[in-house]
Structure 1
Amino acid sequence: MFRALVFFAILAAAIWGAVSLADHPGSVSLQWGGYRVDTSFAVLLAIVTVLAVAAALIYRFWIY
């Protein structure tokens, strides 16, 4: 029962974050090495998430 409550609390927080991000999209501007990248915060968050998952998978396969 406690696990279900924790799961639904995390799910509710994720949904709240997604709705908040959809209602108030931000913009991000990165300048590095002579390049400039302008994107939305949602795209930056998606890229960071994909890179974090890829790094975790590479680490897992490297160790085991």
Structure 2
Amino acid sequence: MSKESPTIVKCPQCGIPVVWGEVSPYRPFCSKKCQLIDLGEWADEEKRIPGAPDMSDSDGWSEDH
């Protein structure tokens, strides 16, 4: 019986190798610290997904109408 080797990914925050499996509860991050740093960067809008700008506030549309 051959055992498959685990999938290893790099932590997107610090680059440390992380096993992609139940042994790594914060995957793809290596730790809760790296996970929270990444979340903070998204919350502060330091990271963004490219796309069309949000025009809902500038096109004169309002939920009141």
What TM-score comes out, normalization by structure 2 length?
Answer: 0.29
Which has the larger Rg? 2
User: Which protein is richer in strand relative to its size?
Assistant: 1
